[in-house]
Amino acid sequence: MGQLAGKVAVVTGGTRGLGLGIARAFLDEGARVMIASRSQASVDRALGEFDDRTRVDGMACDVAQASDVRALAERAVASFSRVDIWVNSAGLSAPYGPTVDIPDEAYRAVLQTNIMGTYNGSRIAIEYFLRQGGGKLINLLGRGDKEPVPFQSAYASSKTWVRAFTRALAQEYKSSGIGVFAVNPGLVLTDMITKVEAIAGYEERMKPFETITRMWGKPPAVPAARVVRLASSATDGKTGIEVQVLGFGIIIGGAVRELFRRMGGSKRRGGESGEGLKIATVDPAFDHTSTLNTRAEATQQESHHK
C-alpha cells in the first residue's frame, strides 16, 4: 500500500516535465490520476507511457478557460468517483529579455496560464473539496516568487502572485478541512530550463545559466517526492505549508561538485561557453531603430547649436 492508496489526484500540465513526474510519483504511491494538457496529442502520448491504464486518465484542457477546468474535474469524478488532490502544475515562461521587447501574445500567455490557470484550478478544486469536507490543493511556485527577476518579469511576477494567492487561500479555508500548500521545485531538468528563448541581443546573458543548471538542476522525481508527501496523510489537519526544494544543502553541494569538476578538468569547454544550452532567438516586439534614430538626430541638432 502506497502513501496515496485510494486517493484520486488531478495534475494539470501533467503530460510532460515536472507535471508528468508528479503524476508518475502519485501512481507509484497508489493513487488514481487524471492528467491534462492543452493538446490532446500530448495527453495521448503521456497516457501511452503508463502500464496500468485502469488508474490513469487524461483529457485536453486549457487551464486559462474555467469551462475547460470544470470539465476536467467532472471527468475525474466520472472516471474515479471523487477528487482528493489537485496539483496546479501547468506553467509557461516567456522569452528572456526586456519587458517591452517580449511579444505581447507570449507575455499574455504566461499570465493566462500561470495566473488564471492557477486561479481556475484552485477555485474549482476548493468547490469540490468543500462539498466533500476535505482535500489537498498544491500550487507550484518558481523563481521570482519572493523577489523581482529582471528580464523574466512575466514568469517571475506570475509566481509572486501564485505565492500570495496560495497563502491567502490557506488562511481563508484553514477551518474547512482543506489543506492548501505551495511548492517551489527549484531547478528541474525539463525543457523549460534546457530549451529556452531569448530576445535577439540577449542570448549571451543566458549562457551562464548552463552552469547554474549543472550545479543545482534536479530530475522531476526529486520535487515530485516532496509533492507526494504534501498530498499524503503526513499533512492531514495542516495547511499553509510552503516547501522549498532548493535548500541550503543542495546549493552548497552543487557548488562543491562544480568546484571539483573544474579543478579536475572534467568539465568540457563547451559547457563553459553555454553550448549545451539550447537558446532560440526571438525578434523583439519593440522597434528600437526609430528610438536610436531620434536620439541620433537630437545629438546632431545639439552639436549644431553648440
CA gap 136, 198 in Å, rounded? 36
Range of lowest pLDDT (73-77, 178-182, 244-248): 244-248
Pairing, β 135-140 against β 178-184: parallel
pLDDT score for 263: 78
CA gap 209, 189 in Å, rounded? 12
- Number of other CB atoms surrounding residue 103 within 10 Å: 16
In the predicted model, what is the mean pLDDT of residues 204-221? 84
pLDDT at 149 over 90: yes
Best CA proximity match to 7, nearest among 24, 29, 22: 29
pLDDT score for 59: 98
pLDDT at 265 over 80: no
50-97 tens-digit pLDDT = 988 999 999 999 999 999 999 999 999 999 999 999 999 999 999 999
pLDDT score for 50: 94
Predicted TM-score (pTM) of this structure:
0.87
How does residue 266 score in pLDDT terms, banded at 50, 70 and 90? low
Written as one letter, the residue type at 93 is: S
How does residue 258 score in pLDDT terms, banded at 50, 70 and 90? low
pLDDT score for 273: 36
**Cα angle 259-247-20, degrees, rounded to a multiple of 5:** 100
pLDDT score for 216: 75
pLDDT at 306 over 50: no
CA gap 119, 134 in Å, rounded? 19
CA gap 20, 63 in Å, rounded? 16
CA gap 244, 140 in Å, rounded? 10
C-alpha cell at 153: 518579469
pLDDT score for 270: 37
Cβ neighbors of 297 (< 8 A, separation 6 or more) are: none
Pairing, β 195-199 against β 242-244: unpaired
Q: Phi first, then psi: give them for residue 211, nearest 5 degrees.
A: -65, -40
pLDDT at 302 over 70: no
Task: Name beta bridge partners: 33.
Answer: 9, 56
pLDDT at 251 over 80: no
Written as one letter, the residue type at 141 is: L
Average pLDDT, the chain: 89
CA gap 290, 270 in Å, rounded? 37
pLDDT at 143 over 70: yes
Contact 16, 42 (CB under 8 A): yes
pLDDT at 299 over 60: no
How does residue 212 score in pLDDT terms, banded at 50, 70 and 90? confident
CA gap 37, 11 in Å, rounded? 9
- The sign of the dihedral angle between the CA atoms of 11, 91, 271, 197 is positive
Is the domain spanning 8-190+218-247 CATH 3.40.50.720? The answer is yes
